[in-house]
Amino acid sequence: MKNTNIYNEFGIDDKVLEFSENVIDSLKERFEAIDRMAEINQLKVIKAMQKNNVSEACMLGTTGYGYNDIGRETLEKVYADIFHTEDALVRAQITCGTHALALALMSNLRPGDELLSPVGKPYDTLEEVIGIRESKGSLKEYGVSYRQVDLLPDGSFDYENIKKAINDKTKIVTIQRSKGYQTRPSFGVKQIGELISFVKNIKPEVICMVDNCYGEFVEENEPSDVGADMVVGSLIKNPGGGLAPLGGYICGKKECVENAAYRLTSPGLGKEVGASLTVLRDFYQGLFLAPCVVASSLKGALFAAALYEKLGFKVVPDSKEERHDIIQAITFNAEDKMISFCEGIQASSPVDSFVKPEPWAMPGYDCNVIMAAGNFISGSSIELSADGPVKPPYNVYFQGGLTFPHVKLGMIKSLQTLYEKKLVDIK
């Protein structure tokens, strides 16, 4: 048994530690494959930074209007090269992933257009953006209609009904890569490419947008490598590497990105304004670290899957499946188990470890949500965190971890919390 004494100082029982260590020992080959992918993506990032002559001057930032912000402009070229797109918008003024997605949609849709989701229900916070749930300023309020095609029971695309749903009004097809608050599979880049190809064969001019949140640097390619016209995400998730304190990105076709820039600032100004203040160093260094941080998160998600699968819980994806994002879903089927798991994650955090997470009415959701996150950056889900809607079947969505030792502690502490309350049986 390894490091018993130090784990005992965290209140970990020897039986819990031994059970957990045995699970980790079984994952050695999978961990090695994750490290190889991190190496590929690390070199990709370095190559893009070198190609665009990233310099110390790029770290300095600007104030006021932000005209001639060399660091901001260079960073957007770096992102465009990493994602192999014509252009990119990477801004501190984009407040979160939902804002980035709303910006991409609202800037490229016009009254009378239709938005199609061929992957079923979107993430909860997008429901008000679209107008599925009534909200001020929604796309629906501006005359944009919405249609969705649910996935087939096995989680695959319903190509027959997708073909029927595409019509003269269809302007954007939005594809959510990650599962969100669902237990469907997350989609790999190859699957997304097949779906985009199918859609484009029916209507070549349609804009295909991929919500790339939680998926960056998990695979060698990104959705923009397989035909996506826009890929959109948050900097306090994967690409920020745990250092970016805010921000979001939109990479894609030049016209799509320009439209987003005009919506973010104003017509006539677009990308020319937007002071970066002091965040550029964090944006650059976070991007540099991101491939290895994502690898730590992936190892943690894989460990979580194998650990709770062994305890008899349903996990998506399971410990044998290929991974396409950093999110691990665990179904507890009981509120007390769900909350205890989150308490264990919170208790292992470097920040606010003394706080007990409680369900609350979080803006943008239709029920109470519990969130465990003792993070350096508030809401950063590339850091160790767990959350979920407090309703049957009581699914927890676990993600993040800047280092694997921290994720490992979080998982073991979550198991310890359940074990102490006699909510699991370790055999």
CA distance 31 to 367: 36
What is the longest distance spanned by two Cα atoms in the chain?
A: 66
CA 393 to chain centre: 22
**Band of the pLDDT at 2, cuts 50, 70, 90?**
low
- For 271, phi then psi, to 5°, come to -75, -10
Edge-first strand listing for the sheet containing 114-117: 87-91, 248-252, 230-234, 207-211, 170-176, 114-117, 145-148
Q: What pLDDT sits at residue 410?
A: 97
Q: Containing H/E element for 200?
A: helix 189-202
> How far from 408 is each of 7, 172, 217, CA to CA, in Å?
11, 40, 21
The mean predicted confidence, pLDDT, of the chain is 96
Residue 258 CA to residue 180 CA, distance in Å, equals 28
Closest listed residue to residue 399, CA positions, set 205, 212, 134, 213: 213
Predicted local distance difference test score (pLDDT) of residue 4: 67
Bridge partners (DSSP) listed for residue 360: 369
How far, in Å, CA of 252 to CA of 189, rounded? 16
Q: Band of the pLDDT at 354, cuts 50, 70, 90? A: very high
Q: Compute the distance between CA of residue 270 and CA of residue 273 in angstroms, rounded to an integer.
A: 7
Q: How far apart are CA 249 and CA 80, in angstroms?
A: 10
- Cα separation, 144 vs 115, whole angstroms: 7
Q: Return the residue matching tokens 């004494």.
A: 5
Average pLDDT over residues 199-212: 98
Q: Is the pLDDT of residue 370 over 70?
A: yes
Q: With 0-12 CB in 10 A as exposed, 13-18 as middle and 19+ as buried, what is 195?
A: buried
- Three-state secondary structure call for residue 247: coil
pLDDT confidence tier of residue 80, bands split at 50, 70 and 90:
very high
Query: Torsion angle, CA of 377/379/383/384, rounded to 10 degrees?
Result: 130
**What is the reported pLDDT for 367?**
85
272-287 mean pLDDT: 98
Is the pLDDT reported for residue 92 higher than 90? yes
- Assign 3 a pLDDT band (cuts: 50, 70, 90): low
Of the candidates 223, 194, 195, 198, which has an alpha carbon nearest to the alpha carbon of residue 210? 223
Show the beta-strand stretches assigned E in 96-144: 114-117
pLDDT digits (tens, 9 = 90+) for 392-419: 999 999 999 999 999 999 999 999 999 9
Overall average pLDDT of the 100-104 stretch: 98
Which value, in Å, is the radius of gyration of the alpha carbons in the chain? 21
Question: What is the average per-residue pLDDT within 49-68?
Answer: 97
The answer to whether the peptide bond before residue 393 is cis (omega within 30 degrees of 0) is: yes
Indicate whether 368 pLDDT > 60.
yes
H or E stretch at 390: none
Domains of the chain by start residue, with CATH: 4-41+288-420 (3.90.1150.60), 61-284 (3.40.640.10)
Q: Are strands 170-176 and 207-211 parallel, antiparallel or unpaired?
A: parallel
Give me the pLDDT at residue 44, please.
Answer: 98
Give the C-alpha separation, 402 to 4, whole Å: 23
Those residues whose C-beta lies under 8 Å from the C-beta of residue 173, and which sit 6 or more positions away, are 115, 116, 117, 118, 166, 196, 199, 206, 207, 208, 209
Helix axes 70-83, 28-51, angle to 10 degrees: 130
pLDDT at 283: 98
C-alpha distance from residue 37 to each of 26, 43, 292, 418 (Å): 19, 10, 9, 33
Alpha carbon distance 167, 336 (integer Å): 47
Residue 5 has a pLDDT of 86
Rounded distance, CA 403 to CA 43, Å?
Answer: 19
Average pLDDT, integer, range 372-390: 93
Q: What angle (nearest 5°) sits at the alpha carbon of residue 379, between those of residues 375 and 385?
A: 60
Taking only the tens place, the pLDDT of each residue in 137-179 is 999 999 999 999 999 999 999 999 999 999 999 999 999 999 8
pLDDT digits (tens, 9 = 90+) for 216-266: 999 999 999 999 999 999 999 999 999 999 999 999 999 999 999 999 999
Nearest to 205 by CA among 175, 161, 173: 173
E strand intervals along 59-129:
87-91, 114-117
Tokens of 424: 């699991």
φ, ψ of residue 16 to 5 degrees: the values are -65, -40
Tokens at 351, concatenated: 């920040």
Percent of the chain predicted with pLDDT > 70: 99
What CA dihedral angle connects 15, 16, 19 and 21, to 10 degrees? -110
